[in-house]
Amino acid sequence: MNEWVDAFIEFGRSEKRWSPDTLRAYEQDLRQFTAFLEREFSLKEAPDFSKLSALHFRAFASALLNENQSVSVARKMSSLRTFFKYLKRKNQVDRNWLAFIPSPKTEKKLPNFLKIEEVLELMRAPDESTWLGVRDKALLEVLYGCGLRVSEAADLSREQLNARPGWIRVMGKGSKERWVPLTELATECLERYFRERPQPQDEEDVFINWRRTRLSARSIARVVARQLLRAAQLSPEWVDANRKISPHALRHSFATHLLSAGADLRSIQELLGHSRLSTTQRYTHLNLGEIVDAYRDAHPLSKK
């Protein structure tokens, strides 16, 4: 069974182009499942796939629920669904029992986002007296101004910036290419950053660390956390230092502010690189005041 897990991970890496984090999560979940089957039911060979039934999957889900929160269980069951769809295409299983086993319901939480005033304070936070501060300012402008994922910002190259003036060629999930406009302010910040930074070890890297190597996704998360704390210290009336704001919150803020300004969901979907419109709808929402305004403008009874 572990050999089929290896084949599935290689399929995700070479054909699906899943990110390292996605591959790591899939492998961890599937190794846990195969270990459970061997420990509890003495199933470990590939022909044992034919012996699997809903009983085995329910037992695994039950064991997980005794140890983990429902969010973790839902993710692991999703990993199994994807894996067994792959096995069915490879004719290793005749029936995908997971289609009959619902995942535990999880509480759907909207990602945290910043108000426009808070974004402005965040952009003023970096200390631009050093090249690292100039880098942080350019990084924040690109993350928010273009709505990039952290991995997309970390992997950004000079060629992607120079491919078309005023645009960034972004390579998203699954190596899907999209073009995102680059704001004038972000362009100015990048140009200043390129002038002031030391010579990188790889000329193509855009965002580098003090070692002059590419900035990792984790390092980008630390940069955002550090600058948010600095913004909270400089303007406590706008930013709450106790809020947990991730780099993804800047991407969510990008979509939320576009929607509030009148952009349509289809355009936002293209800018974010979502394959389904339903995903974009999860990332965009209106505050209560805007909902009330829309009701007063549109509902006939509200005018009486």
Q: Which residue has the tokens 């100015």?
A: 188
Q: Which of 16, 75, 158, 173 is catalytic?
A: 173
Q: Catalytic site residue 149? A: yes
- Token pair of 205 as six digits: 């890297």
Q: Which of 137, 214, 251, 252 is catalytic?
A: 251
Q: Catalytic site residue 211? A: no
Q: Catalytic site residue 299? A: no
Gap between the Cα atoms of 63 and 56, Å rounded: 11
Gap between the Cα atoms of 49 and 34, Å rounded: 11
Q: Catalytic site residue 257? A: no
Q: Which of 26, 144, 193, 283 is catalytic?
A: 283
Distance of CA 87 to the CA centre of its chain: 27
Q: Catalytic site residue 248? A: yes
Hey, what long-range contacts does 102-111 have (CB within 8 A, 24 or more apart)? 103/73, 103/74, 103/77, 103/78, 104/61, 104/65, 104/70, 104/73, 104/74, 104/77, 105/70, 106/70, 106/71, 106/74, 107/71, 108/282, 110/252, 110/282, 110/285, 111/246, 111/248, 111/249, 111/252, 111/283
The DSSP 8-state label assigned to residue 208 in this structure reads B
Q: Which of 81, 115, 248, 282 is catalytic?
A: 248
Q: Which of 149, 230, 252, 257 is catalytic?
A: 149
Residues known to be catalytic: 149, 173, 248, 251, 274, 283
